[in-house]
Structure 1
Amino acid sequence: MDKAALCKPCRLGDPERNDTLIWLKNKEGRPEWFYSHSSILTDKSKYFADQLSHLISSNLIEIQCSEFDYDHHVKLLRLLYLPAHSILESLNSVKSALGVLELAVAFQSEEIVRCCIQYLEAVPWEDKEEEHILKVVAKLGPVAMPISARIQPVDFTATKNVFVSAVRFAMSINRPCPPFGDELKTSAQEQVEYMLGEDEDLPLVTADDEVRSLVRTGLSKICELFEQELSSLLSEPNLASDTAEAKILHSLSDLEWMCNILPKMDLMKEFVSNWAEISPNVLSIVEDQKLDFLMWGLKTKLIEVTAKVLDAVGYGNVILPAPCRVTLLKTWLPYIRKIKPLLDSKGNEETGFPHKMDENLCQSIEGVIVSLILSLPSNDQADILADWMTADQVRYPDLSEAFEVWCYRTKSAKRRLMEGLNKVGNATISL
């Protein structure tokens, strides 16, 4: 053999210079042979080195593989022939690198294991790929530590720092910089809500005094901004413009988002208190005659936010004294009773009118108002029910269930009173 042939690098499948045959069962179930070289196999894989040391008559190594990992076996054999600096460049997908990594560990090819781990640690993953990575990493042990470092749980301080930063963006406590301010804020709001729903360790963060103080500050700021923008609404030169309503709806959407996260932090009472405080001013502006035939989106969204407040109070998630519950109900019930038929009428008049109250929302509000009324002292119940029966709009909300319960309880109360008086009278006579 000439010098040039001796210096030529070995290649997988080279039929002239091979001294070892590797047999794989391919995808179709037929055997496939790979001409290979014992010097390469022995140098790059402890498994092949051990196999070759025990062969006596022929250098034939049989490897069983399934249709699912056949391609990974072929890829591994080809990587064995590459210099170290080229292996990393040959890895082109997470799926392939994972498959090769599992085999490289089994075949004890340290160089390929190292390159696969380096590749996986550096490239982005999709959600489905991460699930597979977690399963593979769990089986590999310490060798996969660089990958594990990327997906292992973070400590309390790191979690808190991320959450606090997200809250600051979400509540605009530090105003986001243009041009991506609103996009960043929306994304931060989504992530805060997701973290509160999915992270088992987050209750430790949300119980932290600094975090709770920050959220309270953000809530106060959002409420203040909403009230300011609402107060300046009547001075707008063009109230019919979409821009005027869009601006105030933006702040109101922030408040609605707060209603979603605060119950998960046991801070909904703060929202209810703020909402109850600003409600009289809010309604005085929204019910101004300048807005009689405008701002239907704003009026509908106000009912949606108020529904969350009533729900929290009516079902006992936020505990308020009876006088506060009475005030809250008497403040918003007339507005809801007034707006619902107006929205229905607009929907009937205009095709595609977008601001009709959702049927589920209507039922939810009606149910919670009934519950809220029945939690009040009897005299307050009587005042609200009397007002309902004398109002022009009695169809919504339908308080007949509350009225029936009130009548039953009143009769029962009178009966108990008379029974008590009779017992007292009989006791006096017997003396």
Structure 2
Amino acid sequence: MTFTSKKRQRVGSSSRLSSFSEEKLNILKNEENERHFHSYKIGGFNDATSADVVLTLQRISTSFDKDQEENVEVEQPAVVYLHSNVLKKCSYFAALLSERWQTSVDNKMEKPIQINLSVPISRTMETYYILLQLFYSNDFSGIIKDVPSATALLPIASELLYDECIRYCVQFLEAVPWTEEEERDVVKLVPFLQQGEAAELLARISPVKGSALEDMLNGLIYTATHSHLNGATVKAFVAKLLRDYSSRDAVRLVLDNAFATSLKSVKDSLEEYSSPNLRGGDHDEIEAMQRMNLHTAVVNGRHLLWLIERMIELKVADTAVKEWSDQATFAANLHRAFRDDAWRNIAPGLPALVLRCTCRLANAVASGSILAQREVRMKLVKDWLPVVIACKDNVSPIPSSQKLLYQELEDVFLQIISTLPMLDAQVLLQQCLNLATRNVDDCTHLVSAFNTWFRRASHAPYLFSDD
């Protein structure tokens, strides 16, 4: 009997599977005779002298294999000599041989029973030989040493109802890591398994609940914004994950939620600071509460700035711009807070944080990165211009870094005003007079904005003809 097959590469069999088959066959082949497997003892695997079952392995073509036939060398049927007392452990063979066992005496049959077993083209003959040998050796750990060997044997063991082999293959696959290609092979095996057998594998490759993705992204963003150890490194890494993630809709959703949460925290803190509850408590207690409120506003302001930068970078900041432009109460509370002197000693960095958030969003609008409607553009300037003016008037001396921030905000607000209808621009430009300084040379941007408006106002109204 000949077990060797043509060496042409089969479609559907990977090189790793081929190497697996060759390696395991070397264990099983007799050194003196390449045509027969090693007999471990009298009555062992493939011992023709004592076998009472003759198994013939023959090729068949399934619908899955039709496209592969032209690329496959047809193999001759192969015969393997087996023993019914060993095959009892396999439910498939036990069912086939049950009647024969009932009529035999001491399981000694007068004539070996003939069984034909079909081998799809997508599998190798060698894998069947190895599985049949395991009936005799039970050397699962010696044969199943990597993922390809387990994924090759498992579907055959499942079809033959070889429970012991199924359990070992599944346990092995549960316990070891997979490459991406190996994971695809494991996924293909799930239909061969019962629900209980596949549970651990499915838990590894399939989310338990539909919100798993959202939960993970929320967790990443929360960790990035709240991390104290290696905070910059964690933020950079999470930013990369968000950039590389394929679903912009999912990223937009979690960033919008995180933005709303952080914005609410800042707003609530400023509300408490601007309108403290004075009932009960002494002066020191009230001051401590106000310190805590400003500190909370600063912490969440940092979170907010990082979130806004990510949203602009990923072009998902549309909702954030609308929300930020609709914060008249929040802006008014900031305006009042920055006219007070207390924040200077408690939270000197708060104005710059809030203005950086405003500046990032306003720049995205002015550059066209975010296409904001006219109402959004107008409210963005109308509500936040007074905050800029209040900060500028109440910070003395102004740090050089903040001077650049104020200059950038003034420029971008004037750019946005230039995109508005002339009546709206007229009202807002008059409010911008507070940006003027004694040195006119420092106000070239303001002069240019007014000159643009005057130039447009000098045009005669455009009238469409009736036609």
Question: Taking structure 1 as the reference length, what is the TM-score of the superposition?
Answer: 0.50
Task: State the percentage of identical aligned residues.
Answer: 21
Check if 1:103 corresponds to 2:156. Answer: yes
Match of 1:187 in 2: 237
Q: Is residue 87–residue 112 contact of structure 1 (8 Å, CA) maintained in 2? A: yes
Assess, with a 3 A threshold, how the Cα gap between structure 1 residues 200 and 161 changes in structure 2: closer, same or farther.
closer
1:81 aligns to what SS in structure 2?
helix
2:193 aligns to what SS in structure 1?
helix
Check if 1:75 corresponds to 2:130. Answer: yes
Match of 1:423 in 2: none
What whole-Å deviation, never above 9, does each CA across 1:181-209 have from its counterpart, x for those lacking one? 66544333333455682786995x6676x
Match of 1:24 in 2: 57
Q: How big is the shift at 1:305? A: 8.9
What whole-Å deviation, never above 9, does each CA across 1:164-185 have from its counterpart, x for those lacking one? 43113433x2223x5xx66544
1:21 aligns to what SS in structure 2?
strand
Match 1:60 to one of 105, 108, 114 = 114
Q: Counterparts of 1:147-166 in structure 2 under 5 Å?
A: 147-155=201-209, 162-166=216-220
Assess, with a 3 A threshold, how the Cα gap between structure 1 residues 44 and 135 changes in structure 2: closer, same or farther.
same
Match of 1:358 in 2: none
Larger deviation, residues 146-155 vs 46-55: 46-55
Q: Counterparts of 1:283-302 in structure 2 under 5 Å?
A: none
2:198 aligns to what SS in structure 1?
helix
Q: Is residue 19–residue 38 contact of structure 1 (8 Å, CA) maintained in 2? A: yes
Q: How big is the shift at 1:87? A: 1.7
Q: Counterparts of 1:255-404 in structure 2 under 5 Å?
A: 256-260=309-313, 263=316, 266-269=319-322, 308-310=364-366, 315-316=371-372, 320-322=376-378, 324=380, 375-378=419-422
Assess, with a 3 A threshold, how the Cα gap between structure 1 residues 161 and 137 changes in structure 2: closer, same or farther.
same
User: CA–CA distance in 2 between the matches of 1:156 and 1:138?
Assistant: 22
Match of 2:46 in 1: 13
Match 1:43 to one of 88, 102, 118 = 88
The one of the two structures with greater contact order (alpha-carbon pairs below 8 A, sep at least 6) is: 2
Match of 2:170 in 1: 117
Assess, with a 3 A threshold, how the Cα gap between structure 1 residues 111 and 323 changes in structure 2: closer, same or farther.
closer
1:315 aligns to what SS in structure 2?
coil
User: CA–CA distance in 1 between the matches of 2:86 and 2:259?
Assistant: 58
The residue type equivalent to 1:45 in the other structure is C
Q: How big is the shift at 1:211? A: 7.9
Q: Is residue 102–residue 136 contact of structure 1 (8 Å, CA) maintained in 2? A: yes
1:13 aligns to what SS in structure 2?
coil
User: CA–CA distance in 1 between the matches of 2:382 and 2:369?
Assistant: 11
Assess, with a 3 A threshold, how the Cα gap between structure 1 residues 135 and 216 changes in structure 2: closer, same or farther.
farther
Q: How big is the shift at 1:108? A: 0.9
User: CA–CA distance in 1 between the matches of 2:312 and 2:264?
Assistant: 13
Check if 1:144 corresponds to 2:189. Answer: no
Q: How big is the shift at 1:149? A: 2.1
User: CA–CA distance in 2 between the matches of 1:108 and 1:96?
Assistant: 18
Check if 1:167 corresponds to 2:221. Answer: yes
The residue type equivalent to 2:45 in the other structure is L
1:35 aligns to what SS in structure 2?
strand
How many residues align structurally? 302
User: CA–CA distance in 1 between the matches of 2:89 and 2:251?
Assistant: 44
User: CA–CA distance in 2 between the matches of 1:319 and 1:79?
Assistant: 76
The residue type equivalent to 1:91 in the other structure is I
Q: How big is the shift at 1:111? A: 1.1
Q: Counterparts of 1:231-242 in structure 2 under 5 Å?
A: none
Q: Is residue 223–residue 255 contact of structure 1 (8 Å, CA) maintained in 2? A: no
What whole-Å deviation, never above 9, does each CA across 1:130-155 have from its counterpart, x for those lacking one? 33433431453413122122223234
Q: How big is the shift at 1:215? A: 8.1
Match of 2:261 in 1: 213
Q: How big is the shift at 1:48? A: 1.8
The residue type equivalent to 1:77 in the other structure is L
